[in-house]
Structure 1
Amino acid sequence: MVLRPNQKLLLALTQTFASITGFINLLSFHRKGKQIYAVVVRSRVSFLEVDRMDKAEVLARILQSEDTSTVLGGQCPASVIKSRKCVPVTAKAQGGELGFLDEAIRTALTGQTRNVVLVGSEGVGKTTALHKLVADWAKGDCLQNFAHVFHFQFRRMGSIADELCLETLIQKSLHQIPAESAGLVTEKPDAVLFVLDGLDEHKHSLDPSAHSLTSDPRQPVSVSCLLASLLHGSLLKGAAFLVASRPTANLKFLKGTQVEVLGFQKPQRELYFNTFFTEPAAANRALEHMETTLGFYDFCASPRFCWTVCSIYKCLIDSAAKLPETLSQLFIDILVHLIQSLSLTKACSRGLLLALGKMASHCLHDPHACCSKDILDSCGFQQQLTTLGSFLKVHDEKEFSFHSQLMQEFVLAVAFFLDASTYEDVEKMLGNHKGCTKLLDFFMSGLSEPVQYRSLEELLGIFSSDQIKGFKSWFKSSSEKKLKDYNKSEHYRCFHLLHQVQNESLVKEILTPPAHPCIFHENLSLADCAALNYVITCLGEREKLSLSRTTISKEIMEVLLPSVRLSHTVMLSNCSIHIESIPLLASAVCMGATRELVLSHSNLGDEKAQVLFTGLRRAKLHRLNLNVCELTASCCGDLVSMLTSETSQLQILELMFNPISDQGFMTLCEAMHSPNCRLQELQLGNCDLTEASMEAFAAALCSGESRLRKIELKDNEIGDRGVEALCKALQQPNGKLQSLGLFDTCLTGVCCSHLMKVLMSEHCSLSELDLSLNDLGQEGALLLCQGLNRPNCPIEILGLTRCKLTQTVFQELGSVLKNGTCQIKSLLLAINKVGDQGVKYILEAVAHPSCLLEELSLEMTTLTDACVEDLCAALRANNTLKLLELRNNSLTDAAVPPIVQVMKEKHNMKELNLKYNDFSEDALLILDECPNIRY
């Protein structure tokens, strides 16, 4: 007998170790029809030596596998592994940070973890990562703590109908080791790693309670029971497992470290495109187009999808053709490319697409479904199966499935417009595949316009005019209905479909501007933003763009730039704004129609704010809302530079709930000394201010340059001395402040003498004063009333909620309201417990013909039914009052009939609020008779 070279090597190894190990068995077995000899040495040392040859064979099998790269299927694992420019895939370990998938797997398996589960969507690189890991192990580069690594696919294992034991399973692995060796493997389970790919393709449950788990490696059981026994530690306890899967119900039965496979993040996409294209300009153009124009759908992070995009874009760029505007157009280009590569007649191409459509419909109902040759024949395939490699994967030469679910859905959409006899109705089509598809309606929308499907008609024949007409009718009616309901998810979907259609006139027809002046959205993805931007640009200049709870990355801002420019008000409240997006936002605001920018409750912070203020120096903003943006004094200098720029038009600045402190406010006051500063309203509630900054503010008001008319200082510790400094400025001719908010600013009656002087001054311009939630007391409030009693005192809005007022103060306020020159239209007296007698003075004033009150709050003033007669008399006599607050008092059912009667008579009364009084259910029914009573 003549020994082949590899047999000679095995025999030499056998002889070398014979003296050490003693007993040797020579065993022959067959693989693929060729007799191969292997030596099994009954010792651990000799087995490891033979295992080295097994590693070489594993590596050879992986690296020598046939390159079956297709436009849809992606680059084959062997090609990726052999590439010197292999682009790493991003992953996120459980509870950890982002990193590379290879490193995450190796780190997990070299630690205490014995089970690692990779979870990711279609085409994100799970299978390639497993192949590369096994290849690296075989080369000795990693995981050398494992003597044996067995690589299986769930799909292939699921096709095994017979029962088998663990040792047989090991023999059926790619290593094809003999039975004696399989037995040795089971002796040291902690040196064994099972690599299992495609759990989502396993049709059976791995719930341990559904199986009689086995612990005997020689006991034949079903494949599902065998897998469940292995994965749950009953069989070969101590072995390690690396499982890869798309999201599936079986994942809940697996224990271990879960690693989320994210595919290509931004840096990896850039590297991949630069690797694919030889020209950097082409790479940059292709990547930018995919991320911005296509809308960067979630699957753009998929290496497989990037391969598809690069392959098609390269063809288009090389032929100087236009790149696709939408996802539908991309798949039209892909389909055109694939059909042209098959060189079929128009009739054969049409037949092929109709058959693929039937197969797609069949497979979409079962995520694990593959089609047998019989099913393919029933679908109408007439070409040789070898021509289908561009569209289908072949499993064990007997089952077929689509390379991509996206293409699967796309060919079904094409078939819909080609075959009116099979797919008669749009709603039935979508209903029959509900829950099975993600983008079928996207593709149908994109294929409904002649400008988009014309290139397909040249290859497949005419699209059905009835199908096109039926779809357009359905699309218009369903879109109008969804938009009226204002269901956010349905809104988003409608915008996505309109984006795919690419018909500006249709957008204007469906989204009539008067019916939809504003579009409010939250939690938008980049794809949502792309669709929204398309809709807004079709509609043109608009009143408001509002996004909330959205991460504003640089990519998202790049997509939204046209929408920002077209919107008068841009609201990005409760958004997480990346610093890279700030210059883009500022530039769009400067160049567009934006007059109001709202960034409240964002995570802005000083660093981002400084970039924003620098970018907004040329803006024509009238209002900037930065409430609750984590700003401090550090950014106020840049804010002043923006406010004092020659082109500044900012009139309203809101900085509430930012700890800018006295230092920040004093810096801000410097802007009011500049003739360029146009600020008229400043909101500084809860900004950690004290009396220390009031001198600087007073100086700014008296500078002669200040245009400030309104300031809100509530919830700051201004104190009496702070108000004293402020009052000196308000008595000066240059002090033109009209509204002063001092709600809850630690004031007492001491400040009222200074406020009285202001009100008595001929230079007083205050029309609004809010002193609520300050302990003014009777003495202080009476001083205030003296100032209010001055003829032609300009105060129109006065807030005295919870100021410890007494009946005497209410009596004096009543006199003020009746003096004939009082201008007060809004008076807030809530939470002053003066009772019926105190309120009586106010009600008498309401009945007086000189009273101009339009709004009155008497909430929580301890009113009872005893006040009802005076209340009704006052309401009947008054013709100016519109809003009356009587919440949280002690009115009972007896008060209801007379109040309802007078409210029915008084048409000037817009609202009477009686909430939280002592009414029974019967009384509430009576109150229900009057629509302008709230209860």
Structure 2
Amino acid sequence: MIYTMHKEALLARSLKSKGTPTLLGGQLPINVINNSQYIPPLTTGDQVTEKYVADDLPSVDHAIHTALSDKNKTILLVGPEGSGKTTALEKLVVDWAKGEHLQNVSYIFQFQFRELNSLDGMLSLETFMSHHHSHFSPESMCQVLQKPESLLFVFDELDQYKHSLDPSVHTLCSDPRQLASVSCLVASLLHGTLLTGAAFLVASRPTGCLQFLSGSRVDLLGFLKPQRKAFVNGFFTDPAIANRALMNMEKTLGFYDFCTSPRFCWTVCSIYKSLMDADERLPETLTQVCVSIMVHLIQVLSLNEARSRDLVSALGKMASHCFLDQRSGCTKEEIISFGFQQFLTSQSSADAFLRLDGDLESDGCVFSFHSQVMQEFLLAAAFFLDKSTSESMKEMLEKHEGHAKFLDVYLSGLSEPNQRRPLETLLGEFDSDRILDFKSWLKSSSQETLEGCYKEKHYRCFRRLHQSQNESLVKEIITPSARIGISYGDVGLQDCVALNYVFMCLGEMEQLNLYCAKDLTEEKAEMLAPAMALSQKIILLQSFLRPGSVPHLASALSKGRTKELDLSHSHLGDASFKLLCTGLRDCKLLKLKLAVCRLTAACCGDLVSVLTSGTSQLCVLELMYNELGDQGLTQLCQALRSPHCKLQELQLQTCQLTAASMEVLSTALCSGQSDLRKLTLTYNTIGESGVDLLSRSLQHPLCKLQSLELFDCQLTDACCASLAEALKSEHCCLLELDLSVNDLGQEGALLLCEALSRPGCPLEKLGLTRCELTQLVYEVLGSLLRSGTSRLKSLSVAMSSVGDQGAKHLWDAVAHPSCLLEDLNVEMIHLTDACVGDLCAAVRASKTLRSLDLKNNLLTNASVPALVQLMQESHNMQELNLRYNDFCEEAFNMLDQCDKINY
């Protein structure tokens, strides 16, 4: 009998909920429930982090029921203003009272924290409960409280509670009959000393009070796009009108965090309805939305121009006071000091903008803003209207920095005549001096920001420009010199919208740099697609692209002017790459970087289709560190044999290749169709047999290869004979050869030197780092460089233990007039100070040497003066690398004197 009576009483109390819907305050929860308009907000929390992903988040109802079924005794429901906490709690209670959910709970008791603020005196828990739920007699309440494990307490609006929940400031009680203050009773309940075993559901905005409570936290996200769509479709009866409203809402507002608020969705839909009923245009910016809300509220209040200005001025002063004091509300005395006295009537004009807690006639009542979005807008509007202060724009912004998130954005929007005009018809003209002051600040601060490299400041600048909707202003601020390197790093959806607007105003950009974009979702990519299409270069290095984002990138490539795309370290995968290829087949792309993209042989068929399409312009392809294997390379060779393939550079470092695929590669290089000029096979197990096959192609008259990198391919001197034969061939056009980190030894190196001595040998760059070279090899190389027949301009013979004596042959060659060397690398060959005299003499005598690498040798402070003087006097030398030698701290001051020395 008591059980049934309690359910009926809860339902009756819900149906009698006081209050009326307000544009900014939202609908009454019970109206939403009774009108079947309830859409469960989404949530996430510790208990669902691993189970759900962004596209499969639980509803708040599901999260609460799950937490309660897991026997969590305290559940903290946390979310920002208007996110649906109160409605969700009301729905839970109503459903229980109707017998639909949580029937394992015997009794639910519902409380509002702000209603508890005014309760004074000493009470027992039994008396307190009977007072709050008067349908219980003291005897029946005592009986109910004897089984706490069957009870659920629902507390709403913890952020409005004026008492502390810190257990250290209370003497917690455990007896329901013990007399205590209400604040002590509440603290004792929530800390588990009273009614041990009962369950508690506490809702709050993020607040410091939460630190004193432990339990299962459920963070309320509110509405994402699908829920907003359902809400708008339910709000408007006409599907065509609903679709128009939804499209505008998503385009104009959908990228802001506060659009997850069900209350804000209701506010926007209400304004859209009034605008469409009046056959007026829908807003295009957040500023215009807020202007429309303000215009609607002022028209409803029927205030004249002077009173309207006074109201906005008073609201602006209150908004500033709340932001600066980091408070959510103000006392009656405070708001009167702001100029509200004339608006505090029985039907207060302030009600449209403010929420009243308590009795208006009482001095203890508290006023707070329904919406922080409008709180910031009112602050901006009041600043442009109020001439009573001499505070400059810069001073005002600096004062509110860190408190008002959108203040500068609103000021930017309101500084444009077309956006503020509807307000000026009701409030009078904004102060022209203040608008000019803001414009001046906007230009100077933007230009200063874009000269720096802080991406957050860049995006802030773009958001202001987007809000202004002034194309000429964008072009004035973002000059050609400022367009390189902007938009660096991870992006949010709001950043994507602002960045895309800037790009569209400018018409083209040298590059879109999204390095390390941690989560490029479909929505972000869709928003950025026009900007991508306008960019000459797109950098997505170390970014994570969700599969849904790839089609938008592909579409941008096919429609745009992009010539270089860097997807290195993006872990793209075969499936996403297949989607990308739809855009690669018909685009202007010249260079594609796909290093470390988790590609396998399975993607190579699609790649071949792109390269042989007849429309692809791709000439540089980087595929290093992908598991292509011999099967993948064999497929790629089909493209190299096609007359439509324009590939000139192919990088295949660490692609798990072996000699098994070298024959088909060699055949492709000799086909007469391949335009390949540069081939990198570094870190693959090619071996001697693989090099023999490649060497044959180098001798073929139709092979166009000019650069071959075989760094660390497990080669020995056995491969050098075939390479030497290739270099001797009259048809060989190889200009660069890197054989570093292979065990060529003396015999192999001498075979190569013999080939290089052939008149007409084209090789200009040779890499022999860590190839087990000897002093004899250095002697032969020195002779070769002096011979007048060698075309070598770059030589790397690092990491060989030849010391000063071996290097002497190179210094003699460098000094010789026939030597053409421009770059010489002798890192880690055990050079000492004894060689510095010969080294300096050689460099002074050389007319070609520009760069010398002496890293990791045994030079000491004694050599530094001579080397510094050498670099200061030399006109040819551009760089001397002295890192990791045996220098002491005192040498660094001398080295600092020459900026051409790296140390």
Matches within 5 A, 1:141-160: 141-160=100-119
Residues 1:866 and 2:834 aligned together: yes
Q: Secondary structure, in 3 states, of the residue corresponding to 1:711?
A: strand
Residues 1:81 and 2:33 aligned together: yes
* 1:119 aligned partner: 78
| Alpha-carbon shift at residue 297 of structure 1 (Å) | 0.9
| Alpha-carbon shift at residue 738 of structure 1 (Å) | 0.8
8 Å CA contact retained: 1:163, 1:222: yes
* 1:627 aligned partner: 595
Aligned partner (choices 245, 248, 257) of residue 298 of structure 1? 257
Matches within 5 A, 1:875-890: 875-890=843-858
| Alpha-carbon shift at residue 641 of structure 1 (Å) | 0.9
Amino acid at match of 2:471: E
**2-side partners of 1:396 and 1:562: how far apart?**
52
Amino acid at match of 1:110: S
Aligned partner (choices 568, 571, 582) of residue 603 of structure 1? 571
* Larger mean Cα displacement after TM superposition, 60-69 or 711-720: 60-69
**2-side partners of 1:258 and 1:414: how far apart?**
38
* 1:43 aligned partner: none
* 2:608 aligned partner: 640
8 Å CA contact retained: 2:459, 2:487: no
* 2:363 aligned partner: none
8 Å CA contact retained: 1:295, 1:530: no
Aligned partner (choices 345, 368, 371) of residue 401 of structure 1? 368
* 1:515 aligned partner: 482
Q: 1:164 to 1:430 in 2, by over 3 A?
A: farther
**1-side partners of 2:276 and 2:713: how far apart?**
66
8 Å CA contact retained: 1:416, 1:423: no
* Larger mean Cα displacement after TM superposition, 61-70 or 732-741: 61-70
Q: Secondary structure, in 3 states, of the residue corresponding to 2:654?
A: coil
Amino acid at match of 2:104: N
* 2:161 aligned partner: 202
Aligned partner (choices 796, 806, 817) of residue 849 of structure 1? 817
Aligned partner (choices 340, 354, 369) of residue 392 of structure 1? 354
**2-side partners of 1:620 and 1:70: how far apart?**
54
Q: 1:64 to 1:932 in 2, by over 3 A?
A: same
8 Å CA contact retained: 1:520, 1:546: yes
Residues 1:135 and 2:90 aligned together: no
* 1:556 aligned partner: 524
**2-side partners of 1:592 and 1:409: how far apart?**
39
Aligned partner (choices 475, 496, 515) of residue 463 of structure 2? 496
Aligned partner (choices 511, 515, 536) of residue 503 of structure 2? 536
Aligned partner (choices 129, 132, 138) of residue 179 of structure 1? 138
| Alpha-carbon shift at residue 422 of structure 1 (Å) | 3.6
Aligned partner (choices 831, 838, 842) of residue 799 of structure 2? 831
Unaligned runs of 5+ in 1: 1-48
Residues 1:800 and 2:759 aligned together: no
8 Å CA contact retained: 1:63, 1:81: no
Amino acid at match of 2:485: C
| Alpha-carbon shift at residue 161 of structure 1 (Å) | 4.6
Q: 1:365 to 1:727 in 2, by over 3 A?
A: same
* 2:777 aligned partner: 809
| Alpha-carbon shift at residue 677 of structure 1 (Å) | 0.9
| Alpha-carbon shift at residue 159 of structure 1 (Å) | 3.8
Q: Secondary structure, in 3 states, of the residue corresponding to 2:488?
A: strand
Residues 1:901 and 2:869 aligned together: yes
| Alpha-carbon shift at residue 759 of structure 1 (Å) | 0.6
TM-score, normalised to structure 1, is 0.92
* Larger mean Cα displacement after TM superposition, 483-492 or 629-638: 483-492
8 Å CA contact retained: 1:202, 1:368: no
8 Å CA contact retained: 2:601, 2:627: yes
Amino acid at match of 1:254: L
Amino acid at match of 2:474: V
Q: 1:768 to 1:159 in 2, by over 3 A?
A: farther
Aligned partner (choices 367, 379, 383) of residue 338 of structure 2? 379
Matches within 5 A, 1:12-51: 49-51=1-3
**1-side partners of 2:807 and 2:830: how far apart?**
9
* 1:69 aligned partner: 21
| Alpha-carbon shift at residue 688 of structure 1 (Å) | 1.4
Give the % identical residues.
Answer: 57
Amino acid at match of 1:505: S
Q: 1:682 to 1:388 in 2, by over 3 A?
A: same
Residues 1:425 and 2:392 aligned together: yes
Q: Secondary structure, in 3 states, of the residue corresponding to 1:411?
A: helix
| Alpha-carbon shift at residue 528 of structure 1 (Å) | 0.9
**1-side partners of 2:760 and 2:134: how far apart?**
101
Amino acid at match of 2:2: V
Residues 1:91 and 2:91 aligned together: no
8 Å CA contact retained: 1:67, 1:78: no
* 1:270 aligned partner: 229
| Alpha-carbon shift at residue 67 of structure 1 (Å) | 6.7
* 1:3 aligned partner: none
8 Å CA contact retained: 2:556, 2:583: no
| Alpha-carbon shift at residue 223 of structure 1 (Å) | 4.4
Residues 1:741 and 2:690 aligned together: no
Aligned partner (choices 413, 418, 424) of residue 451 of structure 1? 418
Residues 1:167 and 2:134 aligned together: no
TM-score, normalised to structure 2, is 0.95
* 2:276 aligned partner: 317
8 Å CA contact retained: 2:328, 2:369: no
| Alpha-carbon shift at residue 172 of structure 1 (Å) | 4.3
| Alpha-carbon shift at residue 493 of structure 1 (Å) | 1.3
**2-side partners of 1:171 and 1:438: how far apart?**
45
Q: 1:241 to 1:682 in 2, by over 3 A?
A: same
| Alpha-carbon shift at residue 737 of structure 1 (Å) | 0.7
**2-side partners of 1:60 and 1:616: how far apart?**
65
Please give the per-residue CA displacement for 1:37-70, whole angstroms capped at 9, x wherever unaligned: xxxxxxxxxxxx2121111111222244357333
* 1:37 aligned partner: none
Please give the per-residue CA displacement for 1:114-141, whole angstroms capped at 9, x wherever unaligned: 1111222222211111111111111122
**2-side partners of 1:185 and 1:829: how far apart?**
90
Size of the aligned set, in residue pairs, is 887
Q: Secondary structure, in 3 states, of the residue corresponding to 1:475?
A: helix
Q: 1:172 to 1:746 in 2, by over 3 A?
A: farther
**2-side partners of 1:649 and 1:175: how far apart?**
81
8 Å CA contact retained: 1:394, 1:400: yes
Please give the per-residue CA displacement for 1:401-429, whole angstroms capped at 9, x wherever unaligned: 21101111111111111112146322332
Unaligned runs of 5+ in 2: 361-365
